[in-house]
A = this chain, B = another copy of it.
Amino acid sequence: MSRLDIFIDRMVSQRACLDWAIAETATMPGPVFELGLGNGRTYHHLREKVAGRQILVFERAVASHPDSTPPDADLILGDVRDTLPATLARLGATASLVHADLGGHNLEKNDAFAQLISPLVEPLLAPGGLMVSSDRMYFDRLEELPLPPGAVPGRCFIYRA
């Protein structure tokens, strides 16, 4: 497989998992969290598909496409090591859906970041809430779910609180 093949599988799987998870949590009132904005393509997709829920974006510094930049009120700027615990203190276990695309080239770095954020994400999810991630996470109590049709095993992960 070429890096192009792997990348396409990753993007297609991300969309399949997100679309499934958005539908699965559609009746939950709590916010959706996007960890990392990047270029904003996935945020643009969430904004198009998620109805009636706030989408909060966690990012260190905004560098997104103008079409895909969140309003200031939905942007939580800073290091996730600080902003995730601060958000837990403010909102409690209310998130209906959390998405993270750790997505660097460096697999070891991605894995270290997954280990770092797993205990920070876990308490944010409301009961029944879902986490969709580009990488395997390290949760204590969340359950890993089978992937929906169209997603490629190993290219995306879904966990339920």
Report which A residues bind B (CB closer than 8 A). Answer: 2-5, 7-8, 11-12, 14-15, 40-42, 44-45, 47-49, 65, 67-68, 105
- Alpha-carbon distance A3/B68, docked complex (angstroms): 9
Whether B4 lies near A15 (C-beta < 8 A) is yes
Grouping DSSP codes into helix (H, G, I), strand (E, B) and loop, the A interface class, with mixed when no group exceeds half, is: helix
In the complex, the chain B residue whose C-beta lies closest to that of A106 is B65
Whether A48 lies near B2 (C-beta < 8 A) is yes
Whether B105 lies near A3 (C-beta < 8 A) is no
A65 CB → nearest B CB, Å: 5
- Alpha-carbon distance A109/B45, docked complex (angstroms): 24
Known contacts: A65-B105, A105-B65. The answer to whether A40 contacts B8 by CB under 8 A is: no
- Residues from chain B with Cβ under 8 Å of A105 in the complex: 65
Whether B3 lies near A7 (C-beta < 8 A) is no
